[in-house]
Structure 1
């Protein structure tokens, strides 16, 4: 347990984690971005509701879907959001690497992370 605690402390001391924390804080404090995310979520709920209405109003669904797509584009092009997603991906990748290493030491086998099943170009996983 002491070693697990040390590992956790090492992870949060890593630059990738520190970058993630800073990016998350910027993400959470970006009021314009948060407003767009809330509008996106509301539009998503609207399109779900509009799709289940009887009779279905295709024009209404199309209008809401277009608004939803426009908001999605704005959100994904927002620099704060792209920084946050990139930092989050880096931390998730690091955690996966740690998990894979632990799995190797516990089982003696390389984890099949990313194995697509096509062994033609593979040097072997077993």
Structure 2
């Protein structure tokens, strides 16, 4: 089996994990919730405006900061957004574990001192 075929196999295995399933469900919930999408969009726009102003050496007013902080609080309180971020973090952690294992193998190391060879107990 070629390296490309093994990569495809890994991709399918990752897609079938609980972490990927939860992330996909969280994405669907987020896409279906207009309020959540609007909060994300507004947050991104305001963040970019503040960043551009700061990059240009302009001072951001207290009112703008207060408005941004209030918006940020709404984002933190939105259950769909938080569920998505939590699912994304969990999936990213899984990807990091996979990457760590691959890097160890490439360096000729075992996954851990008690590794059975298949790395299933790693991390």
TM-score category (smaller protein): 0.7 to 0.9
Q: CA deviation at 1:5?
A: 1.3
CA offsets per residue over residues 81-116 of structure 1, 9 Å max, x none? 1110111011101111111111111112479xxxxx
Shift of the 46–7 alpha-carbon distance from structure 1 to 2, 3 Å rule, reads closer
Whole-Å separation in 1 of the counterparts to 2:93 and 2:58: 46
Instruction: Count residues with an aligned counterpart.
Output: 108
Cα distance in 2 between the residues matched to 1:41 and 1:109: 42
8 A Cα contact 1:103 1:110, kept in partner: no
- Deviation at residue 15 of structure 1 after TM alignment: 1.1
Partner of 1:65: 65
Contact 1:50 / 1:61 at 8 angstroms: preserved in 2? no
* Counterparts of 1:55 and 1:33, CA distance in 2: 30
Residue 4 of structure 1: how far off its partner (Å): 1.6
Structure 1 counterpart of 2:104: 104
Structure 1 unaligned regions, length at least 5: 112-126
Alignment of 1:69-108 (within 5 A): 69-108=69-108
In structure 2, distance between residues paired with 1:74 and 1:46: 18
Give SS of 2:95's match. helix
Partner of 1:7: 10
1:38 maps to what in 2? 41
RMSD: 2.4
User: TM-score with structure 1 length normalisation?
Assistant: 0.73
Relative to the length of structure 2, the TM-score reads 0.75
Distance in 2 (CA, whole Å) between partners of 1:73 and 1:34 is 15
Displacement of 1:48 in angstroms is 4.1
